[in-house]
Chain A
């Protein structure tokens, strides 16, 4: 089975497009047809962003509700916001570090307890992988590699070769940062705790 529907969510500026590019490009390099959809424009300014990536897909880029094989949440609340896309057999890989929206910073709303978000996610998927991706990214050598850490964790579930994912990381990140990104990827892959 190489069909795989992936929803990637986060906050504008977190590197969601790079994260989906890594997966999409690796799949194309493996000869799979891919349809993806990205958030550009207005929503990027610190708002919620959502990308759809469909591997081995002969249809359009939008994943139907209840059909995604995985959700990758670069931010916990955003991961939960997208949960309706997930199939009951789906996987959720999520960063446990919240980014508070302006509505919370200004005191107009409250950010829920991260544990409550994770509990809700757990009840709605087959397999939950919560990761402190920010900490792992710093350990890998740069805080901006958190998105690649999460791709590493997700790679355990993707129908793609680790080699082609690593190749697309090498092609997509700035040349000087290839090593630290590959390290982040491998640390994320291991941290998921999947055999």
Chain B
């Protein structure tokens, strides 16, 4: 039966446990799918180290750097686009280097499952010349953590661990590595030539970074994360990276194909292993040897292969056969291998369905305060107003027509300012969540006031970082461990940015919220509306139960005002009688926010009598 120390675990939970077992001293991060569960799981382990939700990824990385420079093992976690925010310290950290091990966990999201783009952060590793580990499975991600710390310490370099969605949110039987005690002495060591990046120091450190490249590549190349299986007399060589390598292995087995195979999971790309693979394939004089590179997203490995294959008698394939966008799977990889190997496989086409299935997009929950805020916002500003937006559950406001832009964290206030300064004459009302406002919204608000943007900034304060799974933030008064701490006031921050109109409202009060928006709209200059109501999910988890509502069929006129409000608890039953109007209905999904009762012009929606 059960073998000891094997557990069925989520990839991110395994990474958290591995951080703990590696004797880490500090872990910081900002929530972002698919990375969020790492810090959550670590906090649940009640570790003997410092864990924090930082206000953004740049802050998180810098906190981790401070710990490393003081002799502590540290890690910073973020989603792939979080590294954009942290890219400023990241690029120069490559020059400065580290003292104790520092691992940057960048969780990439090929396929944009829950992201605004699918950038490939192996490119960041290349750009900064920082080594990167690209795990193929949850087990490998878990095993790489300890290796990454030791590698980081040996070469005094930060290391990127880059699990993708399938690794982070994959589950498997995980064998947890044992604990280690790095025995580091904590104490900041003054090394100005290394930690103070003045130009003369930076020039020297740039050369140090370049000198490390080949020895790091050599050490990584010979690590167990890369695997080369040469098949003598094979006409085809397949090179696959990270998670694509497991798809490639399955596709090769299913096709029964004979090929030399190289799995790559370390960067800089291990050129010596590629050379060996190319040698083995090229030995065949006729026909020309074939090489296929299979990797998700960017052609990082393919470019490396091409850089050394030029004079060889080889046909190199990569992005001409494997898509550059989207997530890969076995079927896509199988098709690419078949094509290169000249197998006569007709690609599988899904059979058409005889019934049409309705789309099921994600929606704001029944009782979501954002829906209520947007309802009042749209009424006060009108349909032709411009509604720049931001990143969170409330991006789903696109379904309500109150989300005209969404670019990156914090971009709502700034793009709204630009739209105003360009000369747009329609009213402009942007929205940003509480956590996002604290993340990167504050500089945008200060900038708006400073430069005189006549816009309304709505802070959707649902007292949590909801979309990523309800993490606390600096405005909630709780830290990652759930302990009480300082609670930042959104009102005070707005006022200190120079905002003269700061209105707060409860979005479940439709009239009050409408009035506050109206005043904000009339205010000349930057106005802030804080729409404050706890996320309905966290409220219900805390045991809050409101009386649900119901439609009085005698009063309902079938006007569909409540249906247009868009709550999933409301539906419309058409009448079976000719010429008679249908009636609205409220299902058991109702949580009792009561907003639809205020929306109804006929007073037909009432609390369920107890």
Contact = CB atoms under 8 A, between A and B. Distances in A.
A13 to B, nearest CB: 9
Contacts of B359: 101, 103, 109
A183 interface: no
Contacts of B254: 64
A46 B358 CA distance: 14
A45 B364 contact: yes
A24 B137 CA distance: 16
Nearest to B12: A40
Contact of A61 (B3, B8, B170, B469): B170
Interface string A11-29: 1100000001100110011
Given A62-B330, A107-B572, A101 B360 contact: yes
Contacts of A102: 360-361, 363, 399, 566, 568
A119 B350 CA distance: 18
A59 B246 contact: yes
Contacts of A2: none
A138 interface: no
A77 interface: yes
Interface in B223-255: 243, 246-247, 249-250, 254
A21 B243 CA distance: 22
Contact of A36 (B172, B331, B362, B364): B172
Interface stretch (A80-88, A151-159, A173-181, A187-195): A80-88
Nearest to A30: B1
B8 A25 contact: yes
B6 interface: yes
B197 interface: no
B166 A48 contact: no
Nearest to A62: B329
Contacts of B211: none
Contacts, number: 165
User: Which residue among A11, A104, A105 has the maximum number of chain B CB atoms within 10 Å of its CB?
Assistant: A105
Given A31-B3, A35-B172, A38-B171, A47 B363 contact: yes
B584 to A, nearest CB: 11
B114 A60 contact: no
A89 to B, nearest CB: 15
Given A45-B396, A46-B568, A65-B348, A101 B171 contact: no
B549 to A, nearest CB: 16
Question: How many B residues touch the partner, as a band?
Answer: 35 or more
B171 A105 contact: no
Interface string A36-68: 111111111111100000000001111011100
A37 B357 contact: no
Given A33-B172, A60-B136, A61-B166, A112 B8 contact: no
Nearest to B588: A143
B390 interface: no
Contact of B169 (A29, A40, A64, A112): A40
B355 A80 contact: yes
B468 interface: yes
Contacts of B363: 45-47, 102
Nearest to A65: B331
A117 B443 CA distance: 52
B198 interface: no
B295 interface: no
Contacts of A28: 2, 6-8, 173
Contacts of B172: 33-36, 61
B391 to A, nearest CB: 10
A33 B169 contact: no
Contacts of A116: 354-355
Contacts of B577: none
A79 B361 CA distance: 16
B578 interface: no
B286 interface: no
Nearest to B32: A41
B169 A11 contact: no
Contacts of A64: 250, 254, 329-331, 334
Contact of B8 (A24, A44, A77, A81): A24
B468 A41 contact: yes
Contacts of A69: none
Contacts of A84: 350-351
B260 interface: no
B249 A59 contact: yes
Contacts of B572: 105, 107
Contacts of B3: 31
A46 B6 CA distance: 33
Interface string B326-351: 00011100100000000000001011
B362 A42 contact: yes
Contacts of A21: 8, 171
B158 interface: no
Contact of B113 (A33, A41, A45, A80): A41
A80 B362 contact: no
A48 B334 CA distance: 27
Contacts of B249: 59
A53 to B, nearest CB: 8
Contacts of A59: 246-247, 249-250, 330
Contacts of A111: 358
A47 B359 CA distance: 9
Nearest to A33: B173
A78 interface: yes
19 contacts: A29-B8, A33-B173, A34-B173, A37-B166, A37-B169, A37-B170, A40-B34, A41-B34, A42-B114, A43-B113, A45-B396, A60-B136, A60-B243, A61-B170, A64-B329, A64-B330, A103-B359, A104-B358, A105-B568
Q: What are the 10 tightest A-B residue pairs by CB atom distance, in nearest-first order?
A: A41-B114, A60-B246, A41-B33, A47-B362, A109-B358, A45-B362, A64-B330, A42-B114, A59-B250, A101-B360
Given A33-B173, A37-B171, 13 more contacts: A11-B360, A30-B1, A35-B137, A35-B171, A37-B166, A37-B169, A39-B169, A60-B330, A61-B166, A80-B353, A106-B566, A107-B563, A110-B356
Interface of B: 1-3, 6-8, 10, 33-34, 37, 113-114, 136-137, 166, 169-173, 243, 246-247, 249-250, 254, 329-331, 334, 348, 350-351, 353-365, 393, 396, 399, 467-469, 563-564, 566, 568, 570-572
